[in-house]
Structure 1
Amino acid sequence: MTVARPPEPIPGARLLFSLDPAVSYLNHGAFGAVPISVQRAQQRLRDEMESNPLRFFTQGLAERIGHTRRHLATFLGADPDGTALVGNATTGVAVVLQSLGLRAGDEVLTTDHGYGAVGFSIERECRRTGAGTRALRVPLTATDEEIVEIVRTGLRPGRTRLLVVDQLTSPTARLFPVAAVVQVARERGVPVLVDAAHVPGMLPVDVGAVGADFWVGNLHKWAFAPRGTAVLVVAPPWRERIEPLVVSWEQGAGFPGNVEWQATLDYTGWLSAPAGLYALRSLGLDRVRAHNAALAAYGQRVVGDALGVAPADLPDPGGPAVAMRIVPLPPGVATTLDTARALRGRIAERLAAEVAVMAWDGRGWLRLCAQVYNSAEEYERLAVRLPPLLARP
């Protein structure tokens, strides 16, 4: 099989990162990778903090956080007054769940494409409150119209207190039509939380246009921010009801300050996040997005070909703009969470390649990401070495 050519590399992009050159890092979607320039920006802030901690925390820190919040919210098309910085998308979900006031008889509705840790958070809140949870099955090949109809028929007005839907799913790299889903839920009086953990930086987004009651997204994956940088965006009717997970000195300020201020938290990652956006824009935002999406598609094709997967059987649930792709593994391989983790570890140890291995819908899937530091040769090398590894018990 002849595979389409990969995109032209962005000159010098690999040198902007401190990744181990002996490892093919093909899993940017897991924890991201922070450019050296952003690492240095954060270190300068840490140096400032340690030179006089009392001054750092008590003289203008809340205002600096607010400035950062406004910068990031503008990038995302979100209302700065309704945006709070949080540690990650899962933290934002937990804040929403414990602010809802769930009771026995209520339910939280999800899909079977949801992120595992978010599912754990939902289950815990439902156990605590006596509410229930239910997941809608959405086939990987479902069209946008079919997804909207699945949601429409799955909602139970009066009982469904929250719909949680991913904008871009972690296990399947599926792009959901969230604006249309939100509209359907609003017609039935059901609030919606959009988990957009992978969206900031990878995809253009206008959070205001999505129209969700709650929207969470990580900046530390595809927007080059230090880890622990995410946002929770809340629509006006809900802001006064939001309560932080931990009460601290900004409790009286209300949302978003009461959620952001966590006493002696290290805020330097948040304050460095604009440097990540600067690095992204310096490379060329559209250029980076086009490169990453094309390289991920190339990687999917060469690895899929090596595993004997016909081109027509390679899923494309995210569309051409998504920089994550999945490849079906042979039947019986990595079909459970434990065996998927074990295979990921074997690939890392024996092939010096970091990938994601997912167990979803009774099958194992290899998820490949692409970022500006990756090269076509890394996917080609994985394609050559992976089949023999899978053939060995």
Structure 2
Amino acid sequence: MEDLDVIFPEFGSKLRQKDFVLEDGYTFLNHGYKGAVPKPVIEAQQRFEDEARRQPTNTFMRKKQSNWIKSRDSVAEFLNADPDDVVLVPNVTSGINAIMMSIPLKSGDTIIVTNQAFVSTNNACAQLLYHKGITTRVVDIVPPIKDTNQVVKLYRDSLDSILNIRAVVIDYVSCPCAMMFPVAEIVQLCQKYNVVTIVDGAHAPGHIPLSLKETKADFFTGNFHKWLFAPWGCAFVWKNKRLTFPLRSLTSSAANADIASQFCMQGTRDDSCFYSLPAAIQYIRTKGGLEKISAYNTRLLEMASEYLVRLWQTSTLDIPTSMEPPFLRMVRLPEIYGFSTSQDDKNSLMDLIYHDHHIDVCLKSVNDQLYVRLSVHIYNCLDDYKKLGNAVLLLVDRGRRRDSRY
């Protein structure tokens, strides 16, 4: 860890103590769920909340849309996107639903998703089946994976064999297996079949450099509250200019039909999380930008995953390096007596690790084996992962002792 301390003296435990409000003794290793928010961003959000309490009507009626537009413009610049193509939404779930309901689908049309899709995407497709008679077909993408060509071929085979495909949902980084898909290649393939492409980039902003002006996808949606240091409830949808149909908000109290008004005027919703987005982006800049953050995180992730693989005598998920996200890694757990790979047992094990060791970490079941989905950020250090490693070994040893009694 010495090299990280020397090269990045401002990151790690010192930064955690200085800039974050994480509880002492609490080890936070699940930023892929919701990230920690730094103090400057918390303070920015608090200022907007305080102003709304001091002047409720003035803040809502006269300042709401200008604050929303300022925040949208800030993130559009960060994403290298035209502000007119970007709207702010609470999360990718909201974004996917707005996109799905905006595409002019008809009964008999088909949407392609994968088995790696987040549950909310499946739920949105189920609603389309119920209301419009839209069919969903699933492409199974299961490790081991040799190379990205294998993934692209699975999409190609589906596009060749399934009738009436209207839209394809592509995960940028999948939730169940933390795999980074070859998005550009898949989008290029889908264009040849004249289908609408929807990129679920829930894990992308603040994690992977984005330039939406250069993407060929039709829609892109991503969360800001995972890796971008934003408060919970911050995300965006981007729509490609070439699409002729409008992006529609699922709910709106706006009298105007323009897209900003439709997505901004959402009744009495508290938008202070949106208004703090410029502060979150500025925080990234003060830390050297994504390039410096990525340099620290990728190195720490390599050190942490190598350490745990050696300690547990296991392995990482069998996927090509090009499909490993910069800040996420799947490391197989050793067998722990009494815990299967069922959803209930997985959740119970996460609860046990938290209650006994005050560690929050994400566990996933892949091919009937349990994996920890390691995540890293600039407020983490190698000691966090050593603590996790030792906690798991204690559970393994406890299980062996119990097993020996029977």
Instruction: Give the residue type in structure 1 aligned to 2:384.
Output: E
Instruction: Give the residue type in structure 2 aligned to 1:369.
Output: S
Q: Which residue does the alignment assign to 2:174?
A: 169
Instruction: Give the residue type in structure 1 aligned to 2:273.
Output: G
Q: Give the drift of 1:159.
A: 1.1
Are 2:330 and 1:326 aligned? yes
Q: Which residue does the alignment assign to 1:341?
A: 347
Q: Which residue does the alignment assign to 1:372?
A: 378
Are 2:99 and 1:96 aligned? yes
Q: Which residue does the alignment assign to 2:240?
A: 235
Q: What SS class does the counterpart of residue 178 from structure 2 fall into?
A: coil
CA contact (8 A) 2:147 2:320 kept: no
Q: Which residue does the alignment assign to 1:266?
A: 270
Q: Which residue does the alignment assign to 2:136?
A: 133
Are 2:122 and 1:119 aligned? yes
Q: Give the drift of 1:330.
A: 4.2
Q: Distance in 1 between matches of 2:367 and 2:324?
A: 23
Q: Percent identity?
A: 27
Are 2:306 and 1:306 aligned? no
Gaps of 5+ in 2: none
CA contact (8 A) 1:178 1:210 kept: no
CA contact (8 A) 1:174 1:317 kept: no
Q: Distance in 2 between matches of 1:109 and 1:362?
A: 25
CA contact (8 A) 1:239 1:255 kept: no
CA contact (8 A) 2:254 2:261 kept: no
C-alpha spacing 1:40/1:316, structure 2 compared with 1 (3 Å): farther
Q: Distance in 1 between matches of 2:353 and 2:368?
A: 21
Are 2:34 and 1:31 aligned? yes
Q: Give the drift of 1:142.
A: 4.0
Q: Give the drift of 1:49.
A: 0.9
Q: Distance in 1 between matches of 2:194 and 2:335?
A: 42
C-alpha spacing 1:301/1:322, structure 2 compared with 1 (3 Å): same
Q: Which one is further off, 319-328 or 214-223? A: 319-328
Give runs of ≥4 in structure 1 deviating > 4 Å.
313-321, 330-334
CA contact (8 A) 2:146 2:320 kept: no
Q: Distance in 2 between matches of 1:201 and 1:292?
A: 12
CA contact (8 A) 2:178 2:324 kept: no
Q: What SS class does the counterpart of residue 236 from structure 1 fall into?
A: coil
Pairwise CA RMSD: 2.2
Q: Give the drift of 1:158.
A: 5.6
Are 2:175 and 1:178 aligned? no
CA contact (8 A) 2:111 2:166 kept: yes
Structure 1 residue aligned with 2:87, among 84, 89, 93? 84
Gaps of 5+ in 1: none
Are 2:74 and 1:71 aligned? yes
Q: Give the drift of 1:5.
A: 7.2
Q: Give the drift of 1:388.
A: 2.8
Instruction: Give the residue type in structure 2 aligned to 1:13.
Output: L
Q: Give the drift of 1:340.
A: 1.8
CA contact (8 A) 1:294 1:323 kept: no
Q: Distance in 1 between matches of 2:368 and 2:152?
A: 24
C-alpha spacing 1:199/1:6, structure 2 compared with 1 (3 Å): farther
C-alpha spacing 1:211/1:256, structure 2 compared with 1 (3 Å): farther
Structure 1 residue aligned with 2:43, among 37, 40, 44? 40
Give the TM-score, by structure 2 length: 0.89
Q: Which one is further off, 18-27 or 126-135? A: 126-135
Are 2:218 and 1:213 aligned? yes
Q: Distance in 1 between matches of 2:202 and 2:313?
A: 32
Q: Which residue does the alignment assign to 2:362?
A: 356
CA contact (8 A) 2:180 2:324 kept: no
Q: Distance in 1 between matches of 2:362 and 2:259?
A: 36
Q: Distance in 2 between matches of 1:383 and 1:22?
A: 16
CA contact (8 A) 2:115 2:141 kept: yes
Q: Give the drift of 1:115.
A: 1.5
Instruction: Give the residue type in structure 2 aligned to 1:386.
Output: V
Give the TM-score, by structure 1 length: 0.92
Q: Distance in 1 between matches of 2:296 and 2:395?
A: 29
Q: Distance in 2 between matches of 1:353 and 1:314?
A: 26
CA offsets, 1:315-336, max 9 Å, x none?
5655576111111234695523
Structure 1 residue aligned with 2:279, among 255, 275, 293? 275
Q: Distance in 1 between matches of 2:209 and 2:374?
A: 20
Q: Which one is further off, 316-325 or 33-42? A: 316-325
Q: Which one is further off, 92-101 or 320-329? A: 320-329
